Amino acid sequence: MKAGFWVAPEGEDGGVSMMPIGIDETASGFAGRSGLTGAGTISFLATASAADLIERCPKVAALLPQLVAALETQEVGSASRLFDLAGFGADDLTLIGEVLGEGEVSATVALPDGVIAQVQESVMAGLWRVRFTDRDGRLVADYVEVATIPAAIDRAARMVPVLAAIGTPPEGAMNVMPVLTEIRDRAGAHNTGAPSHTITFSLFPMSEADMEFLQNSLGPGPIRILSRGYGTCRIVATGARNVWSVQFFNAMDTIVLDTLEIGDVPETACAAVEDFRDSAERLKEIEEAYFR
């Protein structure tokens, strides 16, 4: 069994087994090229086939200036801005996928009634593609969102119940009760927008019985986020409101930092004001170069 707050089942190599949603994280589910980078976007748009596609997609050409305007004025903490893609044809959606590409952050979110939100940040931070499917896998909504973190993630996080009662620890437990008490008190007192509190497991001893009781006490949550920047960060919502497992991995998929964050959606997954402004400039350059 691997070390870490969320651990891989016996015989598996993945560092995180907690999977609140049964969706393959390797499948993008989005129109356009999977894993397209910013450089890949420019390379594609410079081709003759892209010019033909742009000519057939006036809706996309009309959408891009709206996205630029939203990115130029979006602030951290302000309401997200949604741009519905209902009514866009197959060519439109393909072109949008090519322009947006796939950035560092992706997520899957379980919502009521079996609805799943699939979230993919574009190569322009703070600009997200969000798709909803029902319990049968049918697409029910598709939009582009300008936000610090998509509303679907924020909504799901707020629906998680607070940690109330704590059970009796098993034999062999050492330090889990004071840790759980700290988690319960801090999570219950947290106010939206306040700084997060981090518990780092490498700083104090936790027995196998401690970690198992901690996992069982917090339970599984509805959100899984993967951030691929300098290394990999996997963020999993626990079943207790405001409590997140945040783990950092090296290139060998070994946990190098294993923490719990108590607070809002961890900042590692969130866009900052600087991201919005940089993304507005990049998207404006693309729009002016290829869509006019």
The pLDDT tens digits of the residues spanning 172-211 come to: 888 899 999 999 999 999 999 999 999 998 777 788 899 9
Query: CA–CA separation, 228 vs 177, rounded Å?
Result: 33
Q: Read off the pLDDT of residues 42-54 as tens digits, 9 standing for 90 and up.
A: 788 888 889 999 9
Q: Residue 11: inside a domain, yes or no? A: no
Q: Retrieve residue 21's tokens.
A: 């949603």
DSSP 228-244: EESEEEEEEEESSTTEE
- What is the pTM for the complete model shown? 0.85
Place of tokens 């729009």: 287
Q: Classify residue 83: in a domain, yes or no.
A: yes
Are 124 and 75 members of one domain? yes
Task: Please check whether residues 111 and 61 belong to one and the same domain.
Answer: yes
How far apart CA 269 and CA 125 sit, in angstroms, is 10
pLDDT tens for 239-265 read: 999 999 999 998 888 888 999 999 999
Determine the 3-state secondary structure of 246 from DSSP.
Answer: strand
Contact yes or no for 101/121 (Cβ under 8 A): no
Is the same domain home to 143 and 280?
yes
Quick one: 161 and 261 in the same domain?
Answer: yes
Are 88 and 180 members of one domain?
A: no
Same domain for 131 and 207, yes or no, is no
pLDDT 10s digits, 92-122:
999 999 999 999 999 999 998 899 999 999 9
5 in a structural domain: no
Residue 115: CATH number of its domain: 3.30.1370.140
Q: Are residues 112 and 123 in the same domain?
A: yes
Contact 287/70 with Cβ under 8 angstroms?
A: no
Q: Is residue 283 part of a domain?
A: yes
Question: Same domain, yes or no, for 43 and 139?
Answer: yes
136 in the same domain as 208:
no
**Contact criterion met (CB below 8 Å) for 199 and 179:** yes
Q: How many CA atoms lie within 13 A of 212 on its CB side?
A: 11
Amino acid sitting at position 64:
L
Note down the domain range covering 115. 38-148+272-290
Are 126 and 91 contained in the same domain?
A: yes
**Residues 185 and 265 grouped into a single domain:** yes
Number of domains the chain is built from: 2
